[in-house]
Each structure stands twice: as structure tokens, then as C-alpha cells.
Amino acid sequence: MITSRSGRIILLIIIILTVVNLAAVFTVYLRVKQTETERVQVADSSLAAGEGRRPRPAMLIREAGFDEAQARQVHESRLRQRDNVAPLFAELKDLNSELISEVMKDHPDSLRIEQLCFLIGDLHAGIKLQTVRHMRDVWDIARPEQRGKLVSFYHELLRGDAPAAGRGEGFRHRRGRGN
């Protein structure tokens, strides 16, 4: 046993720090678990729009100023798009697993790796095509005055940025350089 006064103080400090660290770890664990639970609940609620609940994506619908009928059409288009890309994502997951297995081999087959990469690229193209079709559906659902808001969303979705000032819908079709 520790008999000196300084030894007891050090032991007490170590015990206090251990308790504080355990409390911090427990708090982080609970927050992560709570966040995951909320994320799952949000994902579940986005699959089925209940009565009185606005269909997702709520921000797009709210920002563009869609009415309830338009919101329902967007939601239906989103569900169709999700159904169309689900098999593509499943196949993509399988091909990525196969690619990882091939890469990890002692003597990987470079032709097989190339073939898998091309197949994965085709799946990415199919997913992008379905996404663009959904975007086009939303564009058709929107009234002309609502489409300006969609331009920003589409730029952010496809390019990861917002359009430059004054470069909205129809920018490429204007005549002249200074416009």
C-alpha cells in the first residue's frame, strides 16, 4: 500500500482522471448510438410518407416552393428512382468485393481487374443515368418560376458547387460573349 502523502495524492488523481475518462467515453458512446438511432429512424421515415408528413427530400421541396401535389410527385419519382438503382447498387457492391479479392491475391489477374473496373464504371453510369432521369422528372414537375432553385441543387448534386452568378438555366444558349 502507498503510505506517503504524495503517493496517495497521485493515486487519487489517477482514480479521478480514470473516472472522468470513462465518463467521457460513455458519453461519446451514447451520443454515437443516439445519432445512429436517429439516422435509422430518418431513413425509415423517408421510405414511407405518412399522413400529414411531408415527403422527402423536404429541403428541396421547401426551398423550391412545391405545393403538396408537386411534393407527392417528387416523392413518387424518388421512390421509382430508388427502386431502379437498388439492383445496381447491389451489383456494384458484389463487383467491388470481387475486385478487392482479386487485388489481394498473390498473383492478381490484371485482365480480370480491368474487366471488373469497366463493369463497375458501367454500373456507375447506370446509377448516374437513373439519377439524371429523376432530376429530369423533378424539373418537369416544377413550374418555370421554381426551376431557378433547382439549378443550384443540381449544380451542387452533380458538380459539388453552385453555379456562378448569372449562370443559371439557359446560360450556354445565350448569344454573345458578354452576356
Tell me the per-residue pLDDT of 134-160, one tens digit each, with 9 for 90 and over. 989 999 999 988 888 888 778 777 776
Q: Is the pLDDT of residue 116 over 70?
A: yes
Q: Which residues contact 153 (CB under 8 A, 6 or more apart)?
A: 60, 63, 64
Binned at pLDDT 50, 70 and 90, residue 114 comes out as very high
Determine what percent of the chain is predicted with pLDDT higher than 90. Answer: 44
Q: Tell which wins on pLDDT, 165 or 19.
A: 19
Q: Which of 12-16, 64-68, 80-84, 118-122 has the lowest mean pLDDT?
A: 64-68
- pLDDT, residue 58, reads 79
CA distance 150 to 163: 11
- pLDDT, residue 2, reads 55
- Residue 49 phi/psi, 5-degree rounding, is -85, 120
Cα 157 to chain centroid distance, Å, stands at 10
What global pTM score does this model have? Answer: 0.56
CA-wise closest residue to 112 among 104, 103, 122: 103
Q: Which helix (H) or strand (E) holds 15?
A: helix 5-47
- pLDDT, residue 32, reads 84
CA distance 118 to 122: 6
Q: State the amino acid at position 128 in one-letter form.
A: K
Q: Tell which wins on pLDDT, 38 or 85.
A: 85
Tell me the per-residue pLDDT of 65-88, one tens digit each, with 9 for 90 and over. 888 898 899 889 999 999 999 999
In contact, 73 and 141? CB cutoff 8 Å: yes
CA distance 142 to 74: 9
- pLDDT, residue 179, reads 46
Residue in the structure block whose three cell numbers are 439549378: 151
HSE value, Cβ hemisphere, 13 Å, CA-based, for 97: 6
For residues 85-106, average pLDDT: 93
